Amino acid sequence: MSGYEEVTEFLRLPDVQSGARAATQMREDWADHLSLRMYLNSMVTLNQPDHGRIRGLAARVFTPNKIKKMQPAVERLTAGLIDGLIERSDGGEVVDLVDLLAVPFPVAVISDMLGLPYEDGKHLWKLADDWSHVFSGLYTEEDLTRADASAEELAGYFREVIKDRRAAPRDDLMSSLVQEATNGRLDEDELMALILFLFTAGFAATTNLVATGVLALLDHPDELNRWRADKSITPSAVEELLRHTTHTTAASRVTTRPVTIGGAEIPEGVLVLTLLAAANRDPARFPDPHRLDLTRDNGPHLSFSAGAHYCFGGSLARIEGAELFPKLIDTFPKIELSGTPERRAVMGLTGYTTLPVTLGR
């Protein structure tokens, strides 16, 4: 399913279930693998009523007001990373924007929100990235072995953090989540899964947005210059980069009853793959869809999905993008690709593991 209207209508059906959950459980030995068990406890794979209960708790903690309060920290972290890029790129040295910006920026932000030391966050990012390779259902046995080992280390680390927050609560997101568990609203497995999901989701979208967004701007120099000249377009520019790059390319659901979408009849019990990236390039919704238009105004995109599983962390990614991109393109009037970027090898996610560029001032 790839049309914008059809995908939106289908994802908003109240009684479809997680296709990721169904696909993961098709593996007979899934219960023997910690990475898969943890994934099946995460909010993205849960069905009702558990999904609504956990999402409600997360939304009560991960509030728009708390995200808004992150603005000073986002500004501070952006300034520090841009200063580091200036130092590293002086003299025309090739720098990797993934290693020096796309990864450390959102990892630092979500670590700050959770109350984790940044140095810990950097190590946890690598573990979470390894764990995420099993999310799509298309992975090698080597990927699974590495994901299990990473899941074990992640769980061990966060068990200690949870113990610490129970003994000495702080003013951070982690303490709020632990309090929800203490109040009996989350069991220990649910608490661990929610913390890991929020940490992973907290960096994944922005990491991919930064790398793919820079490449999209380099491919459309007129739009890049347009943004440099007029920062008032920043909100629509960030939305257009999100639409154009679509970090999560697909979402799957299982029907629980016969449904008719776009004139097509879908029986009960069918696993349906909705192509978010294709829907975001549907010409019926977005005229000239392959063109980057930083002032495009054709309504909302589907980069954060739709319906019950809509990603409420999208507001954090928007704040990060709106702070980072203007600072980056203003600081460096000349950004040039200096090698071949390496794509991230995770099915269903658009991103890069390297992005070599030269930055001129």
- Distance from C-alpha of 253 to C-alpha of 274, rounded to nearest angstrom: 8
Please give the helix or strand (H or E) that residue 54 lies within, else none: helix 50-61
Give 92: exposed, middle or buried? Use CB within 10 Å, 0-12, 13-18, 19+.
exposed
What pLDDT is attached to residue 347?
Answer: 63
8 A C-beta contact, residue 151 and residue 92:
no
Domains of the chain, residue spans: 4-360
8 A C-beta contact, residue 14 and residue 283:
no
Please give the helix or strand (H or E) that residue 275 lies within, else none: strand 271-275
What pLDDT is attached to residue 345?
Answer: 66
What pLDDT is attached to residue 199?
Answer: 87
Concatenate the DSSP letters of all residues of 237-265 into one string. Answer: HHHHHHHHH-SB-EEEEE-SS-EEETTEE
8 A C-beta contact, residue 96 and residue 355:
yes
- Distance from C-alpha of 199 to C-alpha of 187, rounded to nearest angstrom: 18
Sheet containing strand 17-18, edge to edge, reads 17-18, 250-254, 271-275
- The C-alpha R_g of the chain, in whole angstroms, comes to 20
Q: Which amino acid is at 54?
A: I
- Distance from C-alpha of 337 to C-alpha of 70, rounded to nearest angstrom: 31
Please give the helix or strand (H or E) that residue 360 lies within, else none: strand 356-360
What pLDDT is attached to residue 9?
Answer: 97
- Distance from C-alpha of 221 to C-alpha of 80, rounded to nearest angstrom: 26
- Distance from C-alpha of 31 to C-alpha of 34, rounded to nearest angstrom: 7
Burial 243-252 (b: 16+ CB within 10 A, else e): bbbbbbbbbb
355: which residues sit within 8 A by CB, 6+ positions away? Answer: 96, 97, 98, 102, 211, 214, 215, 341
Please give the helix or strand (H or E) that residue 111 lies within, else none: helix 104-114
Give 109: exposed, middle or buried? Use CB within 10 Å, 0-12, 13-18, 19+.
buried
CA distances from 336 to 10, 99, 290, 340, 347 (A): 41, 16, 22, 12, 28
Query: In terms of DSSP bridges, do strands 352-354 and 264-266 run parallel, antiparallel, or are they unpaired?
Result: unpaired
Determine the length of the chain.
Answer: 361
Q: Is the dihedral of CA 218, 220, 223, 229 positive or negative?
A: positive
Does 1.10.630.10 match the CATH number of domain 4-360? Answer: yes
What pLDDT is attached to residue 1?
Answer: 92
Contacts of 198-202 with CB under 8 Å at 24 or more apart are 198/58, 198/62, 198/110, 198/114, 198/173, 198/313, 199/110, 199/114, 199/124, 199/128, 200/128, 200/131, 200/132, 201/44, 201/311, 201/313, 202/106, 202/109, 202/110, 202/113, 202/114, 202/313, 202/316
Q: Is the dihedral of CA 279, 281, 282, 285 positive or negative?
A: positive
131: which residues sit within 8 A by CB, 6+ positions away? Answer: 35, 38, 39, 147, 150, 151, 154, 196, 200
* Average pLDDT for runs of 10 along the chain of length 361: 96 93 91 94 90 87 82 92 92 91 92 90 90 85 95 95 94 90 86 88 85 96 97 97 93 95 94 96 97 95 92 87 96 94 78 93 84
What pLDDT is attached to residue 230?
Answer: 97
- What sections of 133-187 are H helices per DSSP? 141-167, 173-182
Q: What is the pTM of this model?
A: 0.92
